[in-house]
Amino acid sequence: MSLHFVEFELNGCQIDGMVEARRTLLDFLRCDVGCTGPHAGCEHGVCGACTVLVEGQAVRSCLMLAVQANGKTVETVEGLSGGPKELHPIQQLFREEFALQCGFCTPGFLMTLVALDRSEPRPNAAEMREALSGHLCRCTGYQGVLRVIDRLTEDRK
């Protein structure tokens, strides 16, 4: 099996490795780099738990090959903050609004929300909710996530 050299910027650090062409970005991040924030939920690109940002765009890392990230910038949930004690404002809102229960889907929701929050023009609450319907949560009734959206969009008014 031939291996390919891949290097990209992950959460501000340059990383590299040798990967099979078919290795997904998710497996590369989790197994080779040890970056376990993106979670393997369905591995079909449906549940959204593995969502990361590539060049600022939210992508399903289970559907993207590691070699496709070559030369790009990749952000995962670990890169949003300096850790549990210095949370990004959206992470803080998630915590405050009980937007999680088991937490397995949470990193994916966060990455999509961060991408939406950074995008111009900024989407309104309804557009954010529509975008988040691409993420599955089995524990909550999505009420906390919707409160996060409300607070995010309120802040802008």
Exactly one of 15, 46, 63, 125 binds other proteins (CB under 8 A); which one? 46
12 counts as binding other proteins under rule CB under 8 A: no
For strand 3-10 and strand 73-75, is the pairing parallel, antiparallel, or unpaired? parallel
Residue 130's Cβ-count burial label (10 Å; 0-12, 13-18, 19+) is: exposed
Using CA atoms, how far apart are residues 154 and 151, in angstroms rounded to an integer? 5
Q: In the bound complex, what is the minimum distance in angstroms from residue 68's beta carbon to other proteins?
A: 18
Distance from the first to the final alpha carbon of the chain: 55
**Cis previous bond, 38, omega within 30:** no
54 counts as binding other proteins under rule CB under 8 A: no
- Single out the residue of 92, 98, 154 nearest to residue 124, CA to CA: 154
Q: In the bound complex, what is the minimum distance in angstroms from residue 143's beta carbon to other proteins?
A: 5
Indicate the residue among 8 and 109 with the shorter CB distance to other proteins: 109
**Choices 2-10, 53-61, 115-123, 127-135 (CB under 8 A): range interacting with other proteins:** 127-135
51 counts as binding other proteins under rule CB under 8 A: no
Q: In the bound complex, what is the minimum distance in angstroms from residue 127's beta carbon to other proteins?
A: 12
Q: In the numeric block, which tokens belong to residue 35? A: 């970056």
114 counts as binding other proteins under rule CB under 8 A: no
107 counts as binding other proteins under rule CB under 8 A: yes
39 counts as binding other proteins under rule CB under 8 A: yes
For strand 51-54 and strand 57-60, is the pairing parallel, antiparallel, or unpaired? antiparallel
Using CA atoms, how far apart are residues 91 and 94, in angstroms rounded to an integer? 5
Residues in contact with other proteins by CB under 8 A are 30-31, 34, 36-44, 46-47, 49, 76-78, 80-81, 83-85, 87, 91-92, 94-96, 98, 100-107, 110, 129-130, 132-146
